[in-house]
């Protein structure tokens, strides 16, 4: 039973895109445990900080990526969803490692609740909240296990596949 949840070896880097910061989380090499991995500052209105993300991926030895896909309440793309899709494709192209898109709805609110329960205040801790939101995203990805990493034969033009959080059917 030493097989990782995804069937691939190595750490996963989870990325939660925000307007001002990009929250990061990483798995352990066996892909069973998620933990915060900090955040990267981002200038508003600018492209995601790809160079910094690639440096972090190299630093931790990431062999896969999970990028939060910002959907609206009805599960439809938001204006920032295209940016997440482009980032996932760029990460795959630059590293040769798989990137998957995962519904990120409610990850920030879950992170805010967790911080409040643990310490009662999020004041001055926005970067920590963003990293914790990425951790929630990664925990969800790890729970999907092999299903998330299975090839998506239905859309060969889009290597980064989606997995939404609501339905547990394969």
pLDDT along the chain (170 residues), means of 10: 52 93 95 94 86 96 94 84 94 96 74 62 65 89 80 34 41
CA atoms within 13 A on the CB side of 40: 20
Looking at residue 112, what is its pLDDT? 60
| φ, ψ (nearest 5 deg) of residue 132 | -70, -35
Instruction: Give 8's contacts (C-beta < 8 A, 6+ positions apart).
Output: 31, 63, 64, 98, 149
Q: For the chain, what are the domain ranges?
A: 11-146
Looking at residue 113, what is its pLDDT? 62
For 11-146, which CATH superfamily applies?
Answer: YqgF/RNase H-like domain (3.30.420.140)
């Amino acid at each position: 039973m030493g097989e990782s949840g995804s069937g691939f070896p190595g750490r996963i880097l989870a990325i939660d895109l925000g307007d001002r910061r990009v929250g990061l989380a990483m798995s352990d090499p066996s892909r069973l445990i998620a933990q915060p991995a900090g955040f990267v500052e981002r200038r508003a209105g600018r492209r995601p900080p790809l160079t910094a993300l690639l440096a972090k991926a190299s630093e931790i030895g990431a062999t896969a990526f999970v990028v939060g896909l910002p959907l609206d309440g009805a599960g439809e793309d938001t204006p920032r969803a295209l940016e997440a899709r482009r980032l996932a494709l760029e990460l795959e192209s630059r590293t040769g490692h798989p990137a998957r898109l995962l519904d990120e709805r409610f990850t920030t609110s879950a992170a805010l609740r967790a911080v409040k329960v643990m310490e009662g205040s999020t004041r001055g801790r926005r970067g920590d909240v963003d990293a914790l939101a990425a951790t929630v995203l990664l925990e969800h990805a790890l729970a999907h296990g092999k299903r998330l990493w299975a090839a998506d034969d239905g859309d060969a033009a889009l290597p980064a596949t989606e997995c939404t959080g609501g339905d547990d059917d394969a």
